Amino acid sequence: MARGESALSRLSMAAKVIIVTVVMLAVAAVYFALFHTEVNSRIQAAGNREQKLLDELKTARKNEFAYQKDLQELTERQQRQRELNKVLPQTTEYPSFLSALQSVANVSGVSLTAWSPEPEVPEQFYARVPMKIEISGRYHQLAKFFYQVGQLDRIINIENISVTDPKKDGDEFQIKVVALATAFKAAENPTAAAAGTPGGRPKKGTP
């Protein structure tokens, strides 16, 4: 130990300064290397986390877009189904059938004096829902009634029209009409679903 101290003591001040400087630089270099490596590791980890979050965000946005698209398609299908149900309901719906006829009669000035539902008539793709009705009114009122029935959302045909008991009412005749009002509903177990095939869908009309 004494020899070491003796050797160190024999060095000049400049040499001692150089040795101390070299040692300090070596320590600083080691510290910097360790610190820099740790910082780089943290930066790399942060970058990886950021990239992962960006990827997750991208996936989430993609899933959100797909969800919104599916939701829009579902909403459109439901809307189309609601519109179709107005035209061709899934059930018989006699009350709404009669209510529609009564509303048209009121608007047209026609009296709906009697009605009698009849058994359904199944077809390949749909079922006929007939109802015998008796109405009375003047010629132009009856013509308006038949026209307005054809404008309803639900398909209703007026068939087997029989004009009876005309009575003079001023300058016009009061007429009683017996007819078969036929609505339609979707078949419960259709044998085919091809659109546009003969008998595939009822048509509006008043023979």
Q: List pLDDT tens digits, range 11-45.
A: 677 776 777 787 787 777 777 776 777 777 778 88
Q: Which of 83-97, 119-133, 146-160, 182-196 has the lowest mean pLDDT?
A: 182-196
Q: What is the pTM of this model?
A: 0.57
Residue, of 13 and 191, whose pLDDT is higher = 13
Q: Which pLDDT band, with edges at 50, 70 and 90, does 110 fall under?
A: very high
Q: Which CATH number fits domain 94-186: 3.40.47.10, 3.10.129.10, 3.30.70.60, 3.40.50.300?
A: 3.30.70.60
Write down the pLDDT at residue 198.
45
Average pLDDT of the chain, as a whole number: 80
Q: List pLDDT tens digits, range 121-157.
A: 998 888 899 999 999 999 899 999 999 999 988 889 9
193-202 contact pairs (CB < 8 A, 24+): 193/125, 197/125, 199/123, 199/124, 199/125, 200/124, 200/125, 201/88, 201/125, 201/126, 202/88, 202/126, 202/128, 202/155, 202/157
Q: Could you give the count of Cα atoms lying within 13 Å of 139 in the half-sphere of its Cβ? A: 8
